[in-house]
Amino acid sequence: MTPVVRFGTLGAARITPAALIAPCAQDVRAQVHCVAARDRTRADAFAHKHGVAVVHASYDDVVDDPDVTAVYVPLPITDHHVWTIRALEAGKHVLCEKSFASNAREAQEMADVARATGLVLMDAFHYRYHPVFMRARQIVASGMLGSVRTVEARFDVPIVDAKDIRMIYETGGGVTMDIGCYPISWCRHITGEEPDAVAAQAVEGPPKVDTFLKASFRFPSGIVATASADMREGVKFHASLKVTGDRGEMYVRNPLAPQAGHRIDLDVGGRKTSEELDRRPTYSYQLDAFIDAVEHGAPLLTGAEDAVKQMRVIDRCYAAAGLPLRGLQ
């Protein structure tokens, strides 16, 4: 079978094996055709290890490869804007890692090009396509919890290397951009709303780089939500989503990557139950959705327009916390 999507990947990022290589290896509709990296030796090693047939000398060569139908962008966040637009204008669909762009203005420009070209542009929030988050949304929508009052979303993971690009302002670093984008997205997608009020507090590590964020949102329905993220040394991994209504409560353990273990705990009217669902990787569901969008024009849950909304909230968090937006050197 000829693959529906043949990816070219920009860079040999740490996330690429799990996010793209592994799901493509399990799906005959997709193939990772080529790679390029700033360091050719690194690109060669990556291709050899993961069975990628072609190594190009530059990102431009990947984008211009006639055998490539889609480009994967796992580059530093400050490079997302230029390379996403470059790929779209070359006629390629794009799977762009999050955070989608340095700021909402860049995100809107990317979305505008995607709309003008008619090509698929996905914000790679893989969790959104997994049955665990689908089930969580179903529970909320069913009214089982009653009228939702509060949402609490939290994601902590330590980043200890001071030279990591996630700790550098000029490469789009900061906890909000790197891991805080997840609890922000969980709040937006579990409510199905955009906040009409945002407050935030942050702890600054390196200059202009947030290492802890706690944001509070008020949604049009009256729901109040908090999203927190911590990447300071010494924190332990934690990912959770709690939704409280006037009839009950739902607690989702590890909505980020349910394949590594998860549970949905419900306490409704004093009756406690738990659910566990499929452990197929989130990235496989994301690839399914991307291929369906390319092949059949299926709508995306995290398409370009949603990415713009997400970046608007991130910008508001930075402004509320008194920190500069990314990408404004």
- pLDDT score, position 241: 99
pLDDT tens digits, one per residue of 126-172: 999 999 999 999 999 999 999 999 999 999 999 878 788 999 999 99
Cβ atoms of 273 and 285 closer than 8 Å:
no
Mean pLDDT estimate for the chain = 97
- C-alpha neighbours within 13 Å on the C-beta side of residue 327: 20
Over the stretch 212-224, which tens digit does the pLDDT of each residue have? 999 999 999 999 9
Going 189 to 152 to 102 to 70, the CA torsion angle's sign is: negative
Say which residue the tokens 């008194």 belong to. 322
Residue 329 has pLDDT above 80, yes or no: no
- Residue 321: helix, strand or coil by DSSP? helix
Q: What structural domains does the chain harbor?
A: 5-125+284-302 (3.40.50.720), 131-279 (3.30.360.10)
pLDDT one-digit tens code per residue, 252-287: 999 999 999 999 999 999 999 999 998 899 999 999
Instruction: Report the distance separating Cα 195 and Cα 310, nearest Å.
Output: 10
Between the alpha carbon of residue 31 and those of residues 23, 71, 76, 232, 296, the distances in Å are: 9, 11, 23, 37, 18
Please say whether the beta carbons of 75 and 54 come within 8 A: no
Contact 12, 49 (CB under 8 A): no
pLDDT tens digits for range 78-91: 999 999 999 999 99
- How many whole angstroms separate alpha carbon 221 and alpha carbon 194? 10
pLDDT at 161: 82
Mean pLDDT of 180-201: 99
Residues 200-222, mean pLDDT to the nearest whole number:
97
Which residues, other chains included, contact 22 with Cβ-Cβ below 8 Å and sequence gap of 6+? 281, 283, 284
Region 95-104: mean pLDDT is 99
Asked whether residue 1 carries a pLDDT value surpassing 80, the answer given is: no
Q: How far apart (Å, rounded) are the C-alpha atoms in residues 243 and 190? A: 9
Average pLDDT score over residue span 12-27: 98
Percentage above 90 pLDDT, the chain: 96
